[in-house]
Structure 1
Amino acid sequence: MATTYQMDERRVVERRNPETSLEGAGVWLVIPCYKVKALILRVIDKTPPWVEGIVCVDDACPERSGDFIAAEARDPRVVVVRLKQNQGVGGATLAGYAEASRRGGRILVKVDGDDQMDLGYIPQLVAPILLGEADYAKGNRFTSISHLRNMPYVRVLGNAALSFAAKVSTGYWNIFDPTNGYTAIEASVAKQVMQKRVSRRFFFETDLLYHLGTLRAVVRDVPMPARYGEEVSNLRIGGIIGPFALKHARNFFQRVLGQYFVRDFNVATVELIFGALFLLFGVGYAAHWLSIREGNQPASPGRVMAAALPVMIGVQFMLQAINFDVLNVPSRPIHPYLRTIERMEAEVDA
């Protein structure tokens, strides 16, 4: 079951500090802009007053979104970043993270510019980070059947399949709905992510989770309903199934190698090694006997057990390794540690 987190704005403020408000939390909005000229001003107008800044990233938009926002937006918090070449949603988001962090943002909330995301959920999204219980929070539309009423059935099935694949490839077995683009990240963690080779296109949200996993960052789901309006998706399901499957497989093997053979060596490593050896021996022995047997010669009970027993033992080892992996989800946030390092480096430079 996915771990979720939901808290109203009042409780966040009370538990953080009764004398402060969300206005001092350093929350900045990052909005990638590509073919959203008709809707972007609605998103800006709906931004809560306690959000300190709004970074709109013109991702080489053919509608010249950046110029349009600069000319039409009346909110003084708006900052426009223009990219010379289209970098996809991932590239635009990372550029927005960099600009918001440079201007003092501490919690960076990424939303789309198509008015599909309800900005009223920002307090719930930033709550786990404000309380020091997570480094990254994301929306999850699958926590209630009522939240899925407006989602097409094809998207429900597709997101469910992608969610399981993401659990396997990222190691975050406690989350769901990995393609949800409504997210919040602590700025010091975002700086670490920006140093990695995160996918710039539609695989961005899932690949970001993979790289957060390599940092051992804590991720939390926040329940919110699916919402669809006048937006036009640039995503074509048929064109991403193959590439997504390959990228999930690549991330899975890289994660297992890095997590259990490079950065650590633990009981799951032993289970993986012996599980693979027993499986290979059992399957290899059976294949060898089938290749040398004469005609329809039946296998003796001893030969059957010599092949079946290693396979069964190997499967048990693999299941134990999977169980260890499921329980090995990061649980201690890293951003307090990263912030301390930043302060120490600033003092040294001073």
Structure 2
Amino acid sequence: MTDGLSSPSSSPRIGILVVAYNAEATLEKTLDRIPADFRPRIAEILILDDASHDATFTAGCRWSQLDGMPPTVVMRHTKNLGYGGNQKAGYALAAERGLDIVVLLHGDGQYAPELLPQMVEPLVRGECEAVFGSRMMRPRDALRGGMPLYKWLGNRILTRLENALLGSELTEFHSGYRAYKVDALRRLPIERNTDAFDFDTQIIVQMADAGMRIAEIPIPTYYGDEICYVNGLRYAKDVVKDVLEYRLAKKGFGTCGWIPKPVEYAFKEGDGSSHAVILDRMRGLPPGRVLDVGCSGGAFAERLEALGHTVTGVDCVEVEGVRDRCSGGFHLADLEEGLPDDIGEGYDYVVAGDVIEHLSRPERLLDELRGVLRPDGHVLLSVPNFGHWYSRLRVALGIFDYDRRGILDETHLRFFSRASLRRTVRAAGYDVLSISATGAPFWSVLGGGPPATVLGGVSKLLTRLRPTLFGYQYVALLTPHAARTIIAGEHIDVQDILNRQFVPVDTATHRVGV
């Protein structure tokens, strides 16, 4: 369905989603407060009774039969879905019935129906994807409206913490008065969200992650019966956990199924990652033909092209724009099945950054890469270090599980230590010129500032002192097995030349026997 808000000649279909639980005494009074001059603009009211123990459903049906009311659907769940589960059902119904805008209204009168026109206007004008009613835009009004002091303080503290972790600037995270574009909700994986009260926080995080715009308007504070169902301490723990889980997931830790995993690798210059280390290595090499295996969207290839290299990309998924960033061409191929037949040969360099651990038979790919490489060419590859203290500790404590990215990436099929990496590449026909270790990215979760800088520096120092325990990833520089060639009757040892050309200067680089 096209977004009805994009056409100035058509009015958006506005829906009101009323979530209700044991709201028999308040539901009709709340609905009566919907401004009379706004009712003609409402395409449909959806009242969802979440398996109440009282006559909430009957009250909703009774109100829907009154003269002059907007078209109203009243539904009663046969089992309690929870605050978040009820919203999921309501938003799915809003999409099914072709609504363009849906406003969340609580059946207990906690939020002011009188402000429905103001809630939808920024969406009608196309200024944002969501509008939140905030009780904290005028903070003292919340206290005057009956919000207990401890709840007011808790709201302020939690909102400040959540803003700091998300990089947002909302005045309140914990208002349940919200209006959304239905099309925006359709693009979010809200079906994966919790069914509990922190559902609203997870939607904020999802919208922030997707780059969607959120507007706020000031609203008055009322307290109804529904607030009694919220366990304040548990709610505070859950919302903080959600935001921390998101921050960790963006760094690769945990699975966090309610946040989409990006298809494209997000390369950041100088972030200390294996790709950044490989790029630094490539800056010291003469320009040549590069085969970038697992090139993703071509962000790394683009940087190599800027250094004068001609890059050919290979990946199992074609990300938009990748062909523009790889002047040597792009090949769509499943590396589990090997290199494509038309990949060519005679490459000066092959880059395989964080690739072979995703394959069940990495030896096969390494062997094929040797076949497309020049005899004096080089392979730069990186793999996570399974011997790192993080994975060792999780195994020792019996809490082994997968993460979104990193050492325990949920798509990894093979794990490597420095010794097993060395054995694997030598068995595939390579000499190891050097292996270096990168520091862990854990401390970047803290953002900038002195704590992250100090802890990051300690991590780098420990990596230099004990790379097998503190090194997060290994970056290896390889060349096909040394061969003796004859030039003008003389025997030239290619390996001797290569060893003289590539002398490691980083103290974190550890020479291995070749």
Same fold (TM over 0.5): yes
1:279 aligns with 2:273: no
Task: For residue 198 of structure 1, report the CA deviation from its aligned partner.
Answer: 1.4
Over 3 Å counting, the alpha-carbon distance change for 1:103 and 1:177 in structure 2 is same
Report the counterpart of residue 96 of structure 1 in structure 2.
Answer: 90
> C-alpha distance in 1, partners of 2:109/2:14?
19
1:201 aligns with 2:201: no
- Secondary structure of 1:233's counterpart equals helix
Report the counterpart of residue 241 of structure 1 in structure 2.
Answer: 236
> C-alpha distance in 1, partners of 2:262/2:153?
32
Instruction: State the AA in 2 paired with 1:252.
Output: R
Runs of 5+ in structure 2 lacking a partner? 1-6, 253-259, 274-439, 445-451, 463-514
Compare relative contact order (CA 8 Å, sep 6+) and give the higher one, 1 or 2.
1
CA contact (8 A) 2:49 2:56 kept: yes
Task: For residue 229 of structure 1, report the CA deviation from its aligned partner.
Answer: 5.1
> C-alpha distance in 2, partners of 1:268/1:256?
15
2:183 to 188, 199, 216: 188
Bigger fraction of residues in helix: 1
Normalising by structure 1, report the TM-score.
0.67
- Secondary structure of 2:103's counterpart equals strand
Matches within 5 A, 1:258-273: 264-266=266-268, 269=271, 273=441
Report the counterpart of residue 155 of structure 1 in structure 2.
Answer: 151
1:115 aligns with 2:109: yes
Task: For residue 81 of structure 1, report the CA deviation from its aligned partner.
Answer: 2.3
Over 3 Å counting, the alpha-carbon distance change for 1:268 and 1:285 in structure 2 is closer
1:32 aligns with 2:32: no
Over 3 Å counting, the alpha-carbon distance change for 1:120 and 1:265 in structure 2 is farther
Runs of 5+ in structure 1 lacking a partner? 1-15, 287-350
Structure with max Cα Rg: 2
- Secondary structure of 2:163's counterpart equals helix
**More divergent stretch after superposition (239-248 vs 32-41):** 239-248
> C-alpha distance in 2, partners of 1:143/1:86?
33
1:106 aligns with 2:83: no
> C-alpha distance in 1, partners of 2:270/2:126?
29
Over 3 Å counting, the alpha-carbon distance change for 1:221 and 1:78 in structure 2 is same
CA contact (8 A) 1:165 1:248 kept: no
CA contact (8 A) 1:115 1:231 kept: no
Task: For residue 196 of structure 1, report the CA deviation from its aligned partner.
Answer: 4.3
Task: For residue 248 of structure 1, report the CA deviation from its aligned partner.
Answer: 2.8
Bigger fraction of residues in strand: 2
Identical residues among aligned pairs (%): 22
Over 3 Å counting, the alpha-carbon distance change for 1:261 and 1:253 in structure 2 is farther
Over 3 Å counting, the alpha-carbon distance change for 1:29 and 1:119 in structure 2 is same
Over 3 Å counting, the alpha-carbon distance change for 1:263 and 1:218 in structure 2 is farther
CA contact (8 A) 2:28 2:59 kept: no
Task: For residue 284 of structure 1, report the CA deviation from its aligned partner.
Answer: 8.4
Query: How far does the alpha carbon of each residue in 1:254-289 deviate from its partner, in whole angstroms, 9 at most, with x for none?
Result: 244489996533359569959668624437869xxx
CA contact (8 A) 2:16 2:42 kept: yes
CA RMSD of aligned residues (A): 3.3
1:47 aligns with 2:13: no
Over 3 Å counting, the alpha-carbon distance change for 1:268 and 1:88 in structure 2 is farther
- Secondary structure of 2:228's counterpart equals coil
Over 3 Å counting, the alpha-carbon distance change for 1:160 and 1:208 in structure 2 is same
Over 3 Å counting, the alpha-carbon distance change for 1:279 and 1:200 in structure 2 is same
Instruction: State the AA in 2 paired with 1:156.
Output: W
